[in-house]
Amino acid sequence: MCGIIGYTGMRDCVPILLEGLKTLEYRGYDSAGITYAKDGVLHSVKAKGRLSILAERLTEPSVEGATSGIGHTRWATHGAPSDKNSHPHSTETLSLVHNGIIENYAQIGDRLSREGYVFLSDTDTERAAALLDFYYKEVKDPKKAIFRLCRDLRGSYAFGILFRSEPNTIYAIRRDSPLIVANTEDGCLISSDIPAILPYTRHYYRLSEGVLAVLSGKEIYFFNEEGESVSQTEEVVSWNVEEAKKGGYHHFMLKEIHEEPEALRKTVEPRIRDGFVDFSHELPDDTFLGSVKRLHIVACGTAMHAGLVGKSLIERYARLPVNVEIASEFRYRDPILEKDDLVVLISQSGETADTLAALRHAKSKGIRTLAIVNVIGSSVAREADDVLYTRAGPEIAVASTKAYSVQCSLLYLLALRLAKLRNTMTDGQIAELSDLLLHNVPELIERTLEQSEIVRRVASTIKDAEHIFYIGRDIDSSLCTEASLKLKEISYIHSEAYASGELKHGTISLVTDDVPVVALATVSKVCEKTVSGIREVKARGAYVVTVTTEALAKQYEIPSDEWLILPNADERILPFSATTVMQLLAYHVSALKGLDVDKPRNLAKSVTVE
């Protein structure tokens, strides 16, 4: 949550900072602010609301000629979005931006109030800035003061700091929140994420925890707590700035849904060799998978919903018991973990605080961990014992789409590899399914995408509903959980997902005249049962939209008011098509309502706080 950017060098910093904040807005966008140094003086400008409001307040010529500054785009944790709570937070000696949560901020505030500090905001960050100010006045050395501050803080942080005494030097340090630094031809940058530095360089350093970066404008120096110079590994971005742009689509979400065929190819192709799943590039010896007795899939939100699909697949094909856990619960509820268990963490960003904490919990219990992550080199990827990368490329829209689809495909591969190691399927069966994943799924999604206009028309029939239910059985019920989340997060329509047999145990009381019920029916063995569920809701006046194939609709005489017909395909890969249709449905509902599809209210792309 929250995006940080900083630049010091030879160019005007304000346009660079604004551009960077625009790129980082996916991390939070309820307020923004900038501190820039001009003629040796620090100036701060902040604004509640979108970046455009801040940009309007940063009028030239006052910002012209300012060549160092820090900026922040906020996702509120402590204190409502407002000018006063926006970052940077400044004191007599410094200005600071922060991503993370300082857990002991109240104690710090009390202590500093006794020293005469007065706080203007409700934020934890202002307390941290004040504590740094206090130490800096005492030791008169920015490096020593920053390390003293960090020793006192509980919680997570990535800081970008400007001292009034050295307005052209940026200091940066982090714990449990991401931060990268980069050197360009004409200056140095800090950023919460890679896309913001891509217009200037592809080379960057992912700052190690506890290492202080000092950016002079020409050079970057790294120091440990003892004040010794340390080195950091330079990394190079493998994707380009175009991949992170909208490419002609109205919204990133729509673009990213259209990228699914390619993302699926990139994720599956390198892992199929001679017809079988082969992880040897990434897991030189994956035979340990064969002796695993139980899997715990741990993740948040959409990634956790992919875990539910994974559970269906792994239990079905590899006959291995799987628990799916919400990461924020797993870390605190002392789960039963045994020596032959494997904890699988799924995360698009690889920076989700709860998922990272769950990973650390599993490791502290001596349990082996495997991460399924999209962002290369992210914290979850680095800390897990093993990692399998999804290849979705950058995902900018807050609502996750292509990342979910590739997570499901990777779990499919994992299920097949486990099935091979555990001898629960014949080689022929495994080869057949691998081939479907490799050759048929991307093409199936391409055909599904051709129906976007039909989905849009159906979306127009449900867009004004107050409540929408999703029902399905077997793997369809897992797909429903994600379909429902997608709809509610971007359309603000209340929605719930139910295994269709469960609806009659209470929730059906909410189904009245014209309440839309979206029924997923892709699994023939339970289709008759799904039809019963549809009849039950129709009898109570529901407006039913059924997502199925023409063949299943005919064979089971499915009653429905509206249809979203999936292309004919092998039933075992239909979930991929149903997923894309559900994502398109949520997208079109939101777009038709004129909402901010890519940046829904109250959310952020990367949830790096608890």
Q: Which residues are near ligand F6R by CB under 6 A? A: 300-303, 347-349, 352, 355, 399-400, 489, 606-607
Specify the residue, 27 or 48, whose C-beta has the smaller distance to ligand F6R: 27
Residues ≥6 apart with Cβ < 8 Å to 131:
108, 112, 149, 152, 153
User: Is cis: bond before 270, omega within 30 of 0?
Assistant: no
β-strand 294-299 against 234-236: which pairing, if any?
Answer: unpaired
Residues 589 and 78: their CA atoms lie apart, in Å, by: 32
Residue number, nearest CB to ligand F6R? 301
Residues 418 and 294: their CA atoms lie apart, in Å, by: 12
Residues in the chain, overall count = 610
Specify the residue, 95 or 401, whose C-beta has the smaller distance to ligand F6R: 401
Closest CB 355 distance from ligand F6R, rounded Å: 5
Q: At what angle do helices 402-421 and 574-592 cross, to 10 degrees?
A: 160
Question: Is 554 annotated as catalytic?
Answer: no
Specify the residue, 54 or 253, whose C-beta has the smaller distance to ligand F6R: 253
Instruction: Single out the catalytic residue among 2, 150, 188, 480.
Output: 2
What would the 3-class secondary structure string for 498-542 be?
Answer: EEHHHHHHCHHHHCCCCCEEEEEECCHHHHHHHHHHHHHHHHCCC
Closest CB 351 distance from ligand F6R, rounded Å: 7
Angstrom CA distances, 70 to 44, 55, 145, 282, stand at 9, 14, 19, 38
Q: At what angle do helices 441-449 and 260-268 cross, to 10 degrees?
A: 180
Specify the residue, 117 or 330, whose C-beta has the smaller distance to ligand F6R: 330
Residues 553 and 200: their CA atoms lie apart, in Å, by: 54
Question: Is 2 annotated as catalytic?
Answer: yes
Closest CB 407 distance from ligand F6R, rounded Å: 8
Closest CB 397 distance from ligand F6R, rounded Å: 8
Instruction: Single out the catalytic residue among 38, 48, 463, 605.
Output: 605
Specify the residue, 352 or 560, whose C-beta has the smaller distance to ligand F6R: 352
Structure tokens at 345: 């963490």
Closest CB 433 distance from ligand F6R, rounded Å: 26
Question: How far apart are the two ends of the chain, measured CA to CA in Å?
Answer: 10
Structure tokens at 457: 């028309």
Specify the residue, 93 or 349, whose C-beta has the smaller distance to ligand F6R: 349
Element (H, E) at 125: helix 124-139
What would the 3-class secondary structure string for 355-393 be?
Answer: HHHHHHHHHHCCCEEEEEECCCCCHHHHHCCEEEECCCC
DSSP symbol at 597: S
Closest CB 599 distance from ligand F6R, rounded Å: 12
Closest CB 24 distance from ligand F6R, rounded Å: 15
Closest CB 253 distance from ligand F6R, rounded Å: 9
Closest CB 302 distance from ligand F6R, rounded Å: 3
Residues ≥6 apart with Cβ < 8 Å to 73:
2, 3, 21, 24, 25, 27, 28, 29, 31, 32, 51
Return the ∠ at Cα 240 (arms to 234 and 243), rounded to 5°.
140
SS3 of residue 4 by DSSP: strand
Specify the residue, 214 or 487, whose C-beta has the smaller distance to ligand F6R: 487
Specify the residue, 38 or 206, whose C-beta has the smaller distance to ligand F6R: 206
Residues ≥6 apart with Cβ < 8 Å to 15:
none
Residues 604 and 30: their CA atoms lie apart, in Å, by: 10
Specify the residue, 133 or 395, whose C-beta has the smaller distance to ligand F6R: 395
Catalytic residues: 2, 605
